[in-house]
Structure 1
Amino acid sequence: MFLTRFRVNTARPGARRLLASPQVMHAAVLASFPTLLPGDTPAPEGPRVLWRLDHTASAEVFLYLVSPHRPDLTHLVEQAGWPAAAVADPSAPGWESRPYGPFLDRLAEGSRWAFRLTANPVHHIRRKEGEPIKRTAHLTPVHQMGWLLDRQEPCGFRITEKPGPRRLLPAGTTHTGHPHHGDRYHLTVHDHRNRTFDKTRNPDAPAARRPAPVTLVTVTFDGRLEVTDPDLMRRTLTRGIGKAKAYGCGLLTLAPLPAEPR
């Protein structure tokens, strides 16, 4: 397994095209692996290619990849990076890629980490009597948090709780009867995005032959977690969480916790 980071040059037209469509970015990500064919699908229980776009406070955009094989992002550097800088310094091709296995092997029960996850929180509901059950996005932070909290145990972690004196909002229930956790957990939800894009690989195809546009709701979770089952945690880090993994959702990454103030 490999963990890769690529900084996107947002001033380039190719970068803007990639950032505008998760379908186009997905195709570019898969093109980083010579052994992958366009129609290939991951094995049900094996690792897969996961990716995520992170937008920083300083307006930088980073593409993160987790993959079974080391990627070659030369085409991304040419389209959406700094190709002249990469040519000038062959030791810095325009991306960073490191083996992920040693980190995964060190995961231990009880270890605590900061985490980030961009996900597509959905549930299945029937809006009216007699209608078929449909997959529907959660739209409020309360329900989006609840979606992730429901997945803690099977994913091998638990989101840590704040000490009582540090909680500013009381827990309770919403007007619909759903639990509201206040700020009980070290967990925030931000960067809510509604994306609509064409799934076709050929933008010049006649409109009548194009599939219906894809509509996708994504949010980013930041927080702190404790590993409860290292094997399940490793599976989560290499298989992802939730739906829409092809479109930049599901990649959970860990980082050391910042030092607590004294």
Structure 2
Amino acid sequence: MFLTRFRVNTARAGARRLLSSPQRVHAAVMMSFAEPPPRDGSGPRILWRLDNNAKADLLLYIVSPSRPDLTHLVEQAGWPTTPTAGWETYDYGGFLAKLTEGDTWAFRLTANPVHNIRLRAGEQTKRTAHITPRHQARWLLERQLRAGFSIVEKSMEHRLLPDGDEHEHEHELIVHNQRGLLFGKQEDTGKRSNVSLTTATYDGRLRVTDPDALRRTLTAGLGKAKAYGCGLMTLAPVR
């Protein structure tokens, strides 16, 4: 497995066109591999995420079973004449192998928090997005143990607001950058359709409870809409 980081040159017209649709980013990412992995969900898949840390600091992260070639992205949305402004690819397998139960990590995840509801008795369920930070946080908390981790709980003194009331959030978890996306998609039949989805970014601290399950989460993604920049969780040392 490999983890790749690519810095996007947001001043370029090609980058702005690329970023106008998750479908375009997905296509550009898939073009980075001569032989993309199977799409039947039988193994690790290609995951990607855009991290907008500042107005002019946009990073594209890719996790993949094979090493990508981002030459076309450098030419379209990078710094093609600057030798040191390409991309960085790391051996992810060694890092994954060292995950140990009880380890604590900072994490980031962009996901598509959805649930199924039934509006009327007898009707089929309908997939609906969670739109409030509280419900989006609950979505992740409901999946944490199956995904191989538990989000660190705050100490009692850090759960209290200045006036002494208890804070709504008991965990070291922040939900931010909620976005509603609407973009076009080319179907295999040649027809075009619209895709609508809601995304949210999660930052926090987690503790490893099941290293094997967490490895699956980090390489197979969490939740829906993985083709559109959702599901990729990354870890970093706790500061």
The normalised TM-score by structure 2 is: 0.93
What amino acid is the match of 2:151? I
Q: Partner of 1:188 in structure 2?
A: 174
State the 1:146 CA deviation: 0.5
Counterpart position of 1:138: 130
Which string of whole-angstrom CA distances, capped at 9 and with x for unpartnered residues, describes residues 120-173 of structure 1?
0000001234432110000011110110000011100000001000113566xx
> Which whole-Å CA distance do the structure 2 matches of 1:14 and 1:232 have between them?
38
- Partner of residue 54, structure 2: 57
Count of residue pairs the alignment pairs up: 236
State the partner residue of 2:232.
251
- Any residues of structure 2 matched to 1:203-222 within 5 Å, and which? 210-222=191-203
| Equivalent residue letter for 1:214 | V
Task: Give the aligned residue type for 1:16.
Answer: R
Spell out the pairing of 1:18-57 with structure 2 (5 A cutoff): 18-36=18-36, 41-57=38-54
SS state of the match for residue 192, structure 2? coil
Q: Matches of 2:138 and 2:11 in 1, distance apart?
A: 37
- Choose between structure 1 and 2: higher strand proportion: 2
Q: Which residue in the other structure is 1:77 paired with?
A: 74
Identity of aligned residues (%): 61
Q: Deviations over 1:93-138 (max 9, x none)?
A: 6000011011001100000000000000000001234432110000
| 2:3 partner amino acid | L
Q: Which of these two proteins has the greater Rg computed from alpha carbons?
A: 1
- Aligned 8 A contact 1:168 1:183 in 2: no
Tell me what 1:128 maps to. Answer: 120
Question: Please, which runs of 5 or more residues in structure 2 have no aligned partner?
Answer: none
- Alignment RMSD: 1.9
Contact 1:14–1:80, Cα closer than 8 Å, also in 2: yes
Specify the code of the residue in structure 1 equivalent to 2:62. Answer: L
Is the contact between residue 74 and residue 93 of structure 1 (CA under 8 Å) also seen in structure 2? no
* Contact 2:187-2:193 within 8 A present in 1 as well: no
- How far, CA to CA, are the matches of 2:55 and 2:27 in structure 1? 27
Which residue number in structure 1 is paired with residue 216 of structure 2? 235
